[in-house]
Structure 1
């Protein structure tokens, strides 16, 4: 059986080439992650439970294990420009106030544990569609 050993200039060239390829791959992955972050938006200001579109009109809070108490902590900080608020797949049992969201058109409360909604909750949203 014959074994080959790389050493000297050949080994250095192979190592340099591997480092170059790994650096290019790292830069490419970093660039792709940057583009993904731009397209899906940043974390919304002041809270970590949701992501926002770049224009702050779409707020995604789905599947974040939100409870009523957590929701109350950041409800007033939601951007007034919010058109779509997705609160689906959480642990919400009631919705008390989202009064600062005058532009809200779509509110997704599916897959929660809603037991109570105040009688006038939806009257706060003239643009909300069913």
Structure 2
């Protein structure tokens, strides 16, 4: 039993130490992998599905502006995310559970998209920088 515990700890540490920046064709990363910038890379929903598993868990700032995203439901496993920039995409809807999925989120930039309605759950949110202009 103790052996399995050590194996689990080893695997966890190994996965944290081997995190890398997503494909350089799409993103640039800070040296500590906390800032991921994927600006104007023609990223579609399909590409984001593939990239999502490559985003380091240490990501604090993720910039996906100026792409071709229509949804953000594919973003997962970014528990430390504090700033998300989705400006200048083609997003139509916002998931009502966005702030549950990203509990550390403090800044959300979704200006210049195609959003027509905001979920009611967003009314209950405070202490967040939210830019939804030009939708």
Going from structure 1 to structure 2, the CA distance change for 1:61 and 1:45 (only over 3 Å counts) comes to closer
For residues 46-76 of structure 1, the C-alpha deviation after alignment (integer angstroms, 9 at most, x for no partner) is 5631010000000000110110011111101
TM alignment of 1:62-73, pairs within 5 A: 62-73=39-50
Query: Which residue of structure 2 lines up, in the alignment, with residue 92 of structure 1?
Result: 69
Query: Which residue of structure 2 lines up, in the alignment, with residue 105 of structure 1?
Result: 82
TM alignment of 1:17-96, pairs within 5 A: 44-46=21-23, 48-96=25-73
RMSD of aligned alpha carbons? 1.6
Going from structure 1 to structure 2, the CA distance change for 1:105 and 1:120 (only over 3 Å counts) comes to same
CA radius of gyration, larger in: 1
The answer for unaligned runs of 5 or more in structure 2 is: 1-19, 107-128, 130-135
Larger CA deviation: 57-66 vs 89-98: 89-98
Q: TM-score, normalised by structure 1?
A: 0.63
More helix as a share of residues: 1
The answer for unaligned runs of 5 or more in structure 1 is: 1-42
